[in-house]
Structure 1
């Protein structure tokens, strides 16, 4: 029996210039190792601003209209400490421009954002960051 020499391949992590979500905990997330307390919108093309809501009950159609203005291919909605879905009517501006929306809890949204941003996709993470007692 003859053996075929195996090909060698060097595996290196992709280098991404997108800001990343480097940690999260009760009441905060870290963007490029900077701790941010409160809800925030983060984008793979440098978008970053406070999202004016501290509980799911405070979210309304104006929050998703604001996201529609960013022109991303995908919005990842981190719904807080647990998964909760936005009302379909809130998503109309995003659906009208064929922007995808995925809903998951905020911890999962952080992980998913990093993967997609690392692939070079124009993705926005809209993260509801609740206090530890909320949710």
Structure 2
């Protein structure tokens, strides 16, 4: 699938497939199998198994300033609930967690950043 780029909203996920997520930001283009994305950047992610997910795995996203309102958690090809301890740990830091399948998270990223929302994303591979 291809997603059209909106201007001025930071890195944009321009497409995704079994091979990964395509991201564009100014002159940068990259393909990531699993992805961390925030308003000013993106990076490859080596996530733990979903049932072992903890706050340390997304620490770079929790360190951005300003802190994200919430984390879009793309759980892969289908939606799975994240571990309750992970959700509690992020909520204790003032960051909500919105879990959905990774395709939906990629689409939601574009919409929310287009609205100027301060969000971050952690997307498991499809």
1:40 correspondence with 2:35: yes
CA contact (8 A) 1:38 1:129 kept: yes
The 5 A counterparts of 1:111-130 are 111-130=107-126
Secondary structure of 2:108 counterpart? helix
Larger strand share, 1 or 2: 2
Figure out how many residues of one structure are paired with residues of the other and give that number: 115
Offset at residue 55 of structure 1 (A):
5.1
Relative contact order higher in (CA < 8 Å, ≥ 6 apart): 1
CA contact (8 A) 1:54 1:129 kept: no
- TM-score if structure 2 supplies the norm length? 0.78
The 5 A counterparts of 1:1-135 are 15-32=7-24, 34-44=29-39, 46-53=40-47, 56=50, 59-61=52-54, 62-70=56-64, 71-130=67-126
Unaligned runs of 5+ in 2: 1-5
Unaligned runs of 5+ in 1: 1-13, 131-135
Offset at residue 49 of structure 1 (A):
1.9
- TM-score if structure 1 supplies the norm length? 0.73
Measured on the aligned residues, the alpha-carbon RMSD in Å equals 2.2
Displaced runs of 4 or more, over 3 A: 54-57, 64-67
